[in-house]
Amino acid sequence: QVQLVQSGAEVKKSGASVKVSCKASGYTFSGYYMYWVRQAPGQGLEWMGWINPNSGGTNYAQKFQGRVTMTRDTSISTAYMELSSLRSDDLAVYYCAKSRGWGQLDYWGQGTLVTVSS
């Protein structure tokens, strides 16, 4: 069965960076784009970007351009999302999600809470 298992909660200082991992199993990792979506407390879902695990190609939402980097390690079927220059409004749960195509997300990780402290 498809599973996406994310790394644990993080507490970071304002201005620091955070790197969240997402280990995939149960399907061909390189065959499907991996999306990253975040959700601030009490708020809706926000698309951050995607990575093509096969080529390493990425597409980031304009809002995060210059601050986000998505990478992957195909040898261990793991995708990563690094967000830099953290600020208080980056407090959110960050999800990875497998795309079945055309941005439609059929499996989600359990989420990783990132807390930013001053």
Cβ at position 114, least distance to another protein in Å: 15
CB 13 → another protein: shortest distance, Å?
A: 26
29-47: buried (b, 16+ CB within 10 Å) or exposed (e) per residue? Answer: beebbbbbbbeeeeeeeeb
Q: Site residues for another protein, window 53-112 (CB under 8 A)?
A: 59, 61, 95, 97, 99-100, 102-106, 108-111
Q: Is residue 54 within 8 Å of 31, Cβ to Cβ?
A: yes
CB-neighbour burial class of residue 58 (10 A; exposed 0-12, middle 13-18, buried 19+) = middle
By CB under 8 A, the count of residues binding another protein is 23
Residues listed for the chain = 118
46 binding another protein? (CB under 8 A): yes
> What residues make contact with another protein under the rule CB under 8 A?
33, 35, 37, 44-47, 50, 59, 61, 95, 97, 99-100, 102-106, 108-111
